[in-house]
Amino acid sequence: MVAVFHWLSGYNYDFALATIPVQIILMGYYLSRRNLPGRQSWAFAAVLAANLAMTISDIVSCEMNEIWEQFPLWLMYVVNILYFLGFLLRGWAIFYYAVEALHAERVLGIRVINALCVPILIMVALVVTTPWFGLIFHFDPGEGYHNTWLYPSIYWSTWFYIGALLFVLVTCQRRSQLRLVISLYVCDAILVAAILMRGLFSHTLVTSFFSLLAILVIYLTAQNPDLFHHPKVPLFNYGAFDEMVSNCQIRAERFSVFGIQLRNYAVAKRIYGVPQVDRGIVLIGDWLRHQFPQYYGFYIGSGRFLLLCEGGEMDARRLSSEIRQRFRRPWLDTSTEVDFTVAMAYLPLSVDKTNIVVVRECLVRALMEAELRGEDLFTINDSYLEALIREAAVEGAVMSALRERRIEVFFQPIYSVHDRQITGAEALARLNDPEMGSVPPSDFVAVAERNGSIRELGRQVFAGACLFASTHDLRALGIERINVNLSPAQCMSENLAEELIQEAARRNVLLSDFCFEITESAMDDLTLLRSQMLRLIGEGATFALDDFGSGTSNIVRLSTLPISEVKLDAETTRAFFKGESQVLRFQIDMLEHMGFDVVVEGVETMHMASDVLNMGVEYEQGFYFSPALPVREFTDYLKRTMDEGPAPVGTSPAPAPDSA
């Protein structure tokens, strides 16, 4: 085979030459795409540039060194200096990319990072001053190019930054994405292989090839611009927003964010169809990108858009006016015509944004709140953010308590009007956190519903109720049944009945001792719910509908389910006794006529208890009788009331309880 080129030196350039077009294409594509601003993107661009410069200058310098007499001496020095700088900066740039990608400054501090950058400064100085001091290489008038005594420091520097990269990885990997950490470990291993292969095959230019492999690993797993772009909408995605906020926080750079929520997003999908709505969202994203090029735009799904401004305050009123004006017209193209209405939220520059998770959640929740309130623009303030920070702390407390099984089960008495004594109890979850103290059920139950841990919470409450039933003689205490709440999430499980049956069997208790409470929001899948209910009823359990009147009640659906008892919402009770509504009396009459046992919740005074009794209900529950009590206090209360009759705990009515 005849060689295409006649090379002057004895080096094999095949590997290096093969990488050049790949590097050019990769760099061209990377720079042509809109990347996230920040040092991480610039560091990767520096890796690409340094490796390409090293590859080209390596081949050029090897060839020119063979005929060095034909070129000016200064040009020979320049070409070789470019190669050494590319070689050095390539290794340092990969290290620095890892520093930015892993947010190492947050863990190690800026002083440590600066100290790790000192060797590259020294090496650059040694290379640049070589024409005068000849510390790295030298051109001898008779022999031409030859290495000098500090030439090995080029490799020492590379080994140093391979080790520094490993140090940063080990130190910062817990706070980073697993995909990124693995890719950087692979990258470090490839760099080690590159140096070893360079030593084994000294006359073959393999360093560029291995460096390209390392670059491709980083690009494909972590730095591909498409990873940060929404696949359909011409804006950045959710992950890009998190990355950008994190970078701003590390650099202590202030920013403001403007959010847009399509109010009728879910309805529009039903009316127009998903393809039409998706096309409309693409049109909106394109309009935002061109209308507000000074801001970074993000589409985070579910009809939500964000605009982020670094270092400045947005004119929120002008923005909202301009956006509202545009949304008064339909979104049109050759195949689409859709109408949307919008709600907007603004996170000002002045509000503290030290927690990235809270910032993200804050914007989503503010958009939802603006939509529910019907407000055009909801401005987030510090108190709103503080409430979300507390909510995040509550979430941590809930998850910790569930892991450690520290959820306590309290019991609130249920009074039988017919028997004139306590005959039942409702098992309620309580959380006492070591750091936060007692957390109200209204706080931690809402968090559990949002983060998906409500099913585990329900399991642990039922387990606590079973434990109580197995360690106490319920009949001796006058208790006929224990009410346990089932969340909508639990009711969606096909394994619900089996789980409850197994837990009861584990504690050797009968399901006939339990009444399971469901809410109206659990009735979405009536077929599944009914099958689970019938299985449990077959084991002796009964069912109650909880908080009747607090949701969108459907009497027809209620009558189709095997429910024997209905509990009227405490708010309905309070509204009746405040003279604000007569619904309570009408509900009792209707439900009694339909054959349901009725429990009135929210009974807080003797007057309320007496009037409810005269309405003909079967059961009453509320603070007049007792708040929810821990097991020991509850059993003491039952023993006392069996002798004295039910009476409130304490000398005065307590505030309305939170139920869970």
DSSP 355: -
Q: Lowest-confidence range among 240-249, 531-540, 581-590?
A: 240-249
Query: What are the start-end ranges of the E strands in 141-192?
Result: 144-147
- Average pLDDT of the segment spanning 285-306: 93
Beta bridge partners of 518: 545
Structure tokens at 358: 């809270």
Topology of domain 391-638 in CATH is: TIM Barrel (3.20.20)
- Average pLDDT of the segment spanning 361-382: 81
Count Cβ atoms below 10 Å from residue 18 Cβ, excluding itself. 12
Q: Diameter of the chain by CA atoms?
A: 118
User: What is the reported pLDDT for 654?
Assistant: 39
pTM over 0.85: no
Helix orientation angle between 356-373 and 238-250, rounded to the nearest 10 degrees:
130
192 pLDDT higher than 60: yes
User: What is the reported pLDDT for 2?
Assistant: 43
DSSP 432: E
160 pLDDT higher than 90: yes
Strands 331-332 and 597-600: unpaired
pLDDT digits (tens, 9 = 90+) for 403-422: 999 999 999 999 998 888 99
Q: What share of the chain is helix, strand, coil (3-state, %, to 5)?
A: 55, 15, 30
**Region(s) of the chain under CATH 3.20.20.450:** 391-638
User: What is the reported pLDDT for 656?
Assistant: 39
**Region(s) of the chain under CATH 3.30.70.270:** 229-380
Query: Distance (Å, rounded) from C-alpha 580 to C-alpha 603?
Result: 16
**Region(s) of the chain under CATH 1.20.1070.10:** 14-225
Count Cβ atoms below 10 Å from residue 139 Cβ, excluding itself. 18
Beta bridge partners of 112: none
CB-based burial, 175-206: b 16+ in 10 Å, e otherwise = ebeeebbebbbebbebbeebbebbeeeeebbb
Of 138, 152, 162, 145, residue with least CA distance to 199: 152
End-to-end CA distance of the chain: 82
Residue 496: partners with Cβ closer than 8 Å, 6 or more residues away: 486, 490, 532
pLDDT digits (tens, 9 = 90+) for 121-148: 999 999 999 999 999 999 988 788 989 9
Structure tokens at 102: 């892993």
Q: Which top CATH class is 14-225?
A: mainly alpha
Confidence of residue 620 (pLDDT cuts 50, 70, 90): very high
250 pLDDT higher than 60: yes
Judged by DSSP in three states, 273 sits in: coil
pLDDT digits (tens, 9 = 90+) for 510-560: 999 999 999 877 777 788 888 999 999 999 999 999 888 665 455 666 777
- Average pLDDT of the segment spanning 557-567: 84
User: What is the reported pLDDT for 554?
Assistant: 56
pLDDT digits (tens, 9 = 90+) for 194-221: 999 888 887 888 888 999 999 999 999 9
Structure tokens at 638: 């039952």
State the average pLDDT for the chain. Answer: 88
- Average pLDDT of the segment spanning 270-295: 92
Query: Distance (Å, rounded) from C-alpha 260 to C-alpha 575?
Result: 36
| C-alpha R_g of the chain | 35
Confidence of residue 355 (pLDDT cuts 50, 70, 90): low
pLDDT digits (tens, 9 = 90+) for 53-77: 999 999 999 989 988 889 999 999 9
Residue 562: partners with Cβ closer than 8 Å, 6 or more residues away: 530, 533, 534, 537, 543
Query: Distance (Å, rounded) from C-alpha 643 to C-alpha 654?
Result: 23
Is the model more confident about 311 or about 401? Answer: 401
Work out the percent of the chain whose per-residue pLDDT is above 70: 94
CATH of domain 229-380: 3.30.70.270
